[in-house]
Structure 1
Amino acid sequence: METTQIEGPEHAEKPGVEDIQQLILRRICFLDYAPGDRLKEAELAEEFGVSRTPVRDAISRINHLGLVETLNGVGTVVVKLSPDKIAEVYDVRLHLATLIGKSAPVQINQGHLSRLRTLLEEARALNKETESRKYMQINYRLHGLTRDLIGNSVLRSFWTQAFYQAASTWHNLIEDAGEEAAEALINELVDLETALLEGDIEAVGHLQHVHISYGYRRIRRVLFGDPI
């Protein structure tokens, strides 16, 4: 289980609603909170050193994403997305990807390329011995890089929400996907490296569309028995 520190600079002050929301989402994404697990406000408030109000507000925001629900007599629990919901999420992600670079395009810089190459190096190490947790961490950081390449704030917000909705489903299949998942991640990173080297931000969106589509096909094969 992760501690209260969130990726990025350490928080000198108590975490706010946004910080708490992001950490809970990350735990759901990494399957630290699995479907059926309860989110206990009192325990989370004690962990974060805050009152229950910001915890409740953070959970309320997550509820709007459909990742948790409140059940009478039970409390707030993590939910497993239905096949229909998964299909809707991936349909939205595919459409959002086509908008990357077309509205408020970001200027690609050396920092973006350096982050990408670090991820590629780590992903290539995974190809020899796939570790699901490490895969999830790389995939999460890749999402962060892609998010930072989106200049339109509204698009960036929707892109992030859709990622979290899809991530726990995909990460739940990593053990079954094994080496195939690691190879797919490498291929995605190699393609993105080329796009960044060319300074082609619209190509980043196109590539995200392609690789999200590939990923959804793998999900459908495992969950629904679709043919290869």
Structure 2
Amino acid sequence: MVLEQPRVGVRDAGTKKELLAEGVFHFIGERIVRGELAPGDRIRDAELARELSVSRTPVREALQRLERIGLVKMYPSRFTEVTRLTPDAVRVAHEFAGLQAGVIARLACPRLAEDEIDAVVRLVEHVPLTVDDAAACSQARREVVGYLAARTGNRLQQALVDEASIALARALRGFVVTPEHRESLLRGCDEMPRALRERDADAAEHATRMIYGVA
């Protein structure tokens, strides 16, 4: 795989490096989320740089970001290792995801155009169909929140979500929907469309937290 490298001038060198590091960050992160890189697997920046046809600098920067959010552990001058998930890490991630998802829904609610409301409602309606498949349910919720996050009009919130989204996707991929959470999730999915159509930000936040079981 070769990351896209648009032509840039000298003045744009910093931007080019940032774009490359961003691409590498998501490339490695998604491989970890999908399980292609399992806990304990080692990543060597030189090998990855050759695979992606980039220099080692954006690879190192991407790995440093992944270390900050807990996906990898770097051992300088040696290798980088994919970390292992603990039950406590999953619990913390789920709580954080639910609270942040509520904030995202609150911010996006008054800014959505009618066609965008229709689009996100379709995403919400898909969530109940996935409750018996933990990975599919996590992905369905991620799609709802991702759609709303891009429409909050708040760059700080968007940056926070982008930084944390891969770690959350990994931690929540196998999250089991308990009977209590299932009831909350289904009620949240029922309430969410009305809240969005009525531009009720309070209700949209509450419904979203219910979908995550943290209301």
- TM-score (normalised: structure 2): 0.69
How far apart are 1:36 and its partner, in Å?
1.7
Structure with the greater alpha carbon radius of gyration = 2
- Give the distance between the partners of 2:210 and 2:150, measured in 1 at CA: 19
What whole-Å deviation, never above 9, does each CA across 1:119-166 have from its counterpart, x for those lacking one?
A: 356556657xx6666555434322311312433222333344444333
- The residue that corresponds to 2:145 in the other structure is 143
- Give the distance between the partners of 2:119 and 2:50, measured in 1 at CA: 35
Matched residues, percent identical?
25
- Give the distance between the partners of 2:136 and 2:61, measured in 1 at CA: 30
- The residue that corresponds to 1:198 in the other structure is 198
SS of residue matched to 1:115: helix
Q: Confirm or deny: 8 A CA contact 2:108 2:149 kept in the other structure.
A: no
Q: Would the alpha carbon gap of residues 192 and 152 (structure 1) be closer, same or farther in structure 2, given more than 3 Å must change?
A: same
- Which shifted more, 69-78 or 59-68? 69-78
- Give the distance between the partners of 1:185 and 1:30, measured in 2 at CA: 24
- Give the distance between the partners of 1:121 and 1:87, measured in 2 at CA: 25
- Give the distance between the partners of 2:5 and 2:188, measured in 1 at CA: 36
- The residue that corresponds to 2:9 in the other structure is none
- Give the distance between the partners of 2:141 and 2:34, measured in 1 at CA: 10
How far apart are 1:67 and its partner, in Å?
1.5
Question: C-alpha root-mean-square deviation of aligned residues, in Å?
Answer: 3.9
- The residue that corresponds to 1:38 in the other structure is 42
SS of residue matched to 2:148: helix
SS of residue matched to 1:77: strand
Q: 1:158 aligns with which of 136, 160, 172?
A: 160
Whether 2:209 is the aligned partner of 1:209: answer yes
How far apart are 1:188 and its partner, in Å?
4.8
How far apart are 1:189 and its partner, in Å?
4.3
How far apart are 1:178 and its partner, in Å?
10
Q: 1:64 aligns with which of 58, 65, 68?
A: 68
Q: Where in structure 2 are there 5+ consecutive unaligned residues?
A: 7-15
What amino acid maps onto 1:150 in structure 2? T
How far apart are 1:64 and its partner, in Å?
0.8
- The residue that corresponds to 2:13 in the other structure is none
- The residue that corresponds to 1:226 in the other structure is none
- The residue that corresponds to 1:8 in the other structure is none
- Give the distance between the partners of 1:140 and 1:97, measured in 2 at CA: 9
- TM-score (normalised: structure 1): 0.66
Larger % of helix: which? 2
SS of residue matched to 2:111: coil
- Give the distance between the partners of 2:101 and 2:125, measured in 1 at CA: 25
Q: Confirm or deny: 8 A CA contact 1:27 1:33 kept in the other structure.
A: yes
Number of aligned residue pairs: give it: 204
SS of residue matched to 2:80: strand
- Give the distance between the partners of 2:109 and 2:121, measured in 1 at CA: 21
- Give the distance between the partners of 1:116 and 1:131, measured in 2 at CA: 21
Q: Where in structure 1 are there 5+ consecutive unaligned residues?
A: 6-10, 216-228
- The residue that corresponds to 1:169 in the other structure is 171
Q: Counterparts in 2 of 1:1-228, with a 5 A limit?
A: 11=4, 13=6, 16-71=20-75, 75-97=79-101, 99-100=103-104, 107-120=111-124, 123=127, 126=130, 134-135=136-137, 137-173=139-175, 188-213=188-213
